[in-house]
């Protein structure tokens, strides 16, 4: 069991919500505890969930040498020390390797192993999340959430105190309401201890996304639903509950709670207002009453390690008993007072929408090359101002607002109007915009200060562990030290650093 230094459970404090430097006096788990709903697991990479907590929030692993460090709040009860992470990860990449349990029960989340489904990492494990993919601020203080792309996942199959059988529990999470897909299953909550589907009622987890394979809400989603195993439920059955609305908030508070033949879904805007109840009633029929919960904890995946979903997690907890609506409303007020806001996804060279640019390779021995294309293949070619017009145009790109996220950018070919750089299978291609969510996200990239200390590196928005890299003259999105040949660590930071210059054409 992982027990980092200073990891301790603080005492419960009075519940008056009062402004502090960056947060509030009582944390969510103080509020739950005072109401008799003990936090059995408390996870956050953005802040302490108890007002007196000063222990480890999460661990990051550096790509350059696989060294790790733990990130704690700046002060007890406060926001994560993002500056410590930024210093540790400077000039390299970092992954979130552990999300610590603040409750003192040791229910830490680590890289999910294979189960009913295998992951894309070594030995069938799921990927770890980027430590820098979800920058946020809390009342102006910088922190990072957990941006999870398809194939990433965390879990704990040997927990302490998490509800089993038909025992009552409550779960809440703060998520990015704009980051989702329709795959199975972006969950946080109670799953199987075997990482395999063991039957109806063996899970109880918050789900967020647009899956229509089982239940749905009103509109086209995304929806907050409950994953109870072999079904995503928005109400009494795996059908449509029109009282479960599509979510349009940048930050969303989601809550699911259940007890004997009773459960509920609640949600709201994590930056303002109160929670609404989207469902409250009896359990679904067909093996869900009584429940057969097993007590594992999952994040970003299904109980059987189904790992095709995506989403972003900021904080959450699993508590004993069936919290009252009033208690959850107090937790929501605390979340609102924490002041979540989106952080900057870009840094370094400033790009202007509508301008034309070329990307100049910086790796020693290849500095006569620019990013270009041959048909649909994105590659590097020897190019200069004296090259033919056709070659200069192939190495020139128009900057447009990010198709998948307006805080980043997409790059349209100058010589093939309507076609953009996108990744597929981790290789970069030139492709026509087909209007789908997948295309838009895969064609969106976030320039940051170059990892080599000069120029810029282009990070994939949808897979923020990965950066544009030239390897054997072909362009990929590469992860430092990953499982693919093009992820090799040798000269990685040089290969992912480019000078963004005025276009050659």
Catalytic machinery residues: 229, 304
Of the candidates 459, 435, 429, the one whose C-alpha atom is nearest the C-alpha of residue 447 is 459
Token output for 356: 């034309």
Residue 365: alpha-carbon gap to chain centroid: 37
Q: Are 204 and 190 in contact (CB under 8 A)?
A: yes
Contact partners, residue 137, CB within 8 Å, separation at least 6? 143, 339, 340, 341, 342, 343
CA–CA distance, 423 with 411 (Å, rounded to integer)? 12
CA–CA distance, 477 with 471 (Å, rounded to integer)? 10
Of the candidates 337, 398, 378, the one whose C-alpha atom is nearest the C-alpha of residue 471 is 378
CB atoms under 10 Å from CB of 153, counted, come to 31
CA–CA distance, 104 with 41 (Å, rounded to integer)? 8
Q: Are 27 and 334 in contact (CB under 8 A)?
A: yes
CA–CA distance, 299 with 310 (Å, rounded to integer)? 10
Q: Are 270 and 252 in contact (CB under 8 A)?
A: yes
Q: Are 146 and 79 in contact (CB under 8 A)?
A: no
**Hey, is 425 helix, strand or coil?**
coil
Q: b/e per residue, 123-143, with b = 16+ CB within 10 A?
A: eebbbbbbbbbbbbbbbebbb
CA–CA distance, 221 with 278 (Å, rounded to integer)? 14
Of the candidates 285, 278, 284, the one whose C-alpha atom is nearest the C-alpha of residue 218 is 278
CA–CA distance, 420 with 416 (Å, rounded to integer)? 8
């Amino acid at each position: 069991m992982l027990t980092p230094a200073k990891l301790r459970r603080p005492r419960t404090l009075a519940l008056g919500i009062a402004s502090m430097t960056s947060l509030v006096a009582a944390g969510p788990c103080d509020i739950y505890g005072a109401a008799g709903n003990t936090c059995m697991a408390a996870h956050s990479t953005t802040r302490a969930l108890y007002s007196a907590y000063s222990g480890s929030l999460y661990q990051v692993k550096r790509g350059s040498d696989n060294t790790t460090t733990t990130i704690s709040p700046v002060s007890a009860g406060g926001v994560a020390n993002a500056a410590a992470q930024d210093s540790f990860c400077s000039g390299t990449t970092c992954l979130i390797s552990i999300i610590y349990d603040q409750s003192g029960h040791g229910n830490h989340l680590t890289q999910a192993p294979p189960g009913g489904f295998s992951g894309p990492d070594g030995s069938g494990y799921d990927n770890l999340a980027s430590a820098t993919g979800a920058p946020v601020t809390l009342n102006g203080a910088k922190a990072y959430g957990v941006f999870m792309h398809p194939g990433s996942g965390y879990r704990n199959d040997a927990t302490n105190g998490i509800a089993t059988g038909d025992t009552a529990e409550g779960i809440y999470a703060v998520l990015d309401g704009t980051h989702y897909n329709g795959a199975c299953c972006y969950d946080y909550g109670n799953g199987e201890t075997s990482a395999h589907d063991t039957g109806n009622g063996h899970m109880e987890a918050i789900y967020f996304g647009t899956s229509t394979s089982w239940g749905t809400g009103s509109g086209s989603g995304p929806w907050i639903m409950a994953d109870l195993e072999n079904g995503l439920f928005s109400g009494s059955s795996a059908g449509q509950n029109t009282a479960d609305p599509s979510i349009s908030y940048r930050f969303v508070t989601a809550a699911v709670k259940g007890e004997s033949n009773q459960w509920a879904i609640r949600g709201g805007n994590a930056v303002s207002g109160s929670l609404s109840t989207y469902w409250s009633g009896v359990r679904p029929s067909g093996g869900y009453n009584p429940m057969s919960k097993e007590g594992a904890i999952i994040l970003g995946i299904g109980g059987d390690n189904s790992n095709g979903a995506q989403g972003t997690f900021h904080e959450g907890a699993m508590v004993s008993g069936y919290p009252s609506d009033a208690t959850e409303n107090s937790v929501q007020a605390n979340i609102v007072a924490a002041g979540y806001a989106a952080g900057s996804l870009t840094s370094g060279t400033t790009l202007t929408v509508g301008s034309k640019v070329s990307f100049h390779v910086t790796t020693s021995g290849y500095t006569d090359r620019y990013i270009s294309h041959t048909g649909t293949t994105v590659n590097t070619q020897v190019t200069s101002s004296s090259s033919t017009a056709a070659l200069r145009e192939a190495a020139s790109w128009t900057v447009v607002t990010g198709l998948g996220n307006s805080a980043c950018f997409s790059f349209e070919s100058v010589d093939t109007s309507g076609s953009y750089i996108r990744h597929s299978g981790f290789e970069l291609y030139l492709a026509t915009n087909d209007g789908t969510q997948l295309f838009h996200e895969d064609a969106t990239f976030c320039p940051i200060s170059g990892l080599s200390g000069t120029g810029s590196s282009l990070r994939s928005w949808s897979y923020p562990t990965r950066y544009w890299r030239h390897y054997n003259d072909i362009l990929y999105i590469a992860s430092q030290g990953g499982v693919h040949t093009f992820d090799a660590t040798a000269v990685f930071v040089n290969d992912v650093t480019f000078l963004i210059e005025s276009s050659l054409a």
